[in-house]
Amino acid sequence: MTTSATLRPARREDLSSVIVLDAANTGLSKPDYWEDAYARYGESPDAPFLIAEVEGQFAGFLIGEVRAWEFGSPPCGWVFALGVLPEFRTQGIGTALFEAACAAFRESGVAQVRTMLNRDDPLNMAFFRSQGMMAGPFLQLELDLEEA
């Protein structure tokens, strides 16, 4: 089933809905993080911060940005936050948000889009794979600072 969603740039008053949805998805409430994200990406032409609404009701969001030259990577689009309310999942809302972000990235002149997921996140892994994304040429590395 596909629902017709209206997409628009985020407004500061959307943050409460974004915070609630993110907390439900991650188990952590991060209002300061989202305030900072809005301050950084809320009005940037190279960083889509999009809201999806269905019949005027908040349904989801996406944030991305153009990043450049990290360890030799040419400029590309990054999707680093995506959330859709459970009652709107499987209705094409995430796809509409992703496609709008990809269009914004193309307009910025980039030819690739990337994201990073936890390998134990089957919901987001399935979504991004359904969009045609697959493993890229870069490998994420990390160090546990508590053990180093």
Please give the pLDDT value at position 45: 74
pLDDT in tens, 15-50: 999 999 999 999 999 999 999 999 999 888 778 999
Tokens of 110: 């980039």
> In the chain, what percentage of residues exceed pLDDT 70?
98
Task: Identify whether 108 is part of a domain.
Answer: yes
Task: Identify whether 140 is part of a domain.
Answer: no
- For residues 83 and 85, give the distance between their C-alpha atoms in angstroms, rounded to a whole number: 7
Task: Identify whether 1 is part of a domain.
Answer: no
CATH code of the domain covering residue 101: 3.40.630.30
Number of structural domains, the chain? 1
**Which secondary-structure segment (H or E) carries 38?**
helix 31-41
Task: Identify whether 72 is part of a domain.
Answer: yes
Residue of 94, 131, 93, 82 lying closest to 3 (CA atoms): 93
Task: Identify whether 135 is part of a domain.
Answer: no
Please give the pLDDT value at position 73: 85
Question: Within 10 Å of residue 123's Cβ, how many Cβ atoms?
Answer: 12
pTM (predicted TM-score): 0.90
Name the CA dihedral angle for 13, 80, 67, 40, rounded to a multiple of 10 degrees. 20
- For residues 145 and 73, give the distance between their C-alpha atoms in angstroms, rounded to a whole number: 26
Q: In which domain, by residue range, is 42 found? A: 6-130
pLDDT in tens, 93-118: 999 999 999 999 999 999 999 999 98
Q: Are strands 113-114 and 49-54 parallel, antiparallel or unpaired?
A: unpaired
Task: Identify whether 57 is part of a domain.
Answer: yes
Task: Identify whether 141 is part of a domain.
Answer: no
The overall average pLDDT reported for the chain is 92
Task: Identify whether 82 is part of a domain.
Answer: yes
pLDDT in tens, 53-87: 999 999 999 999 999 877 888 999 999 999 999 99
Return the DSSP state at 72: G
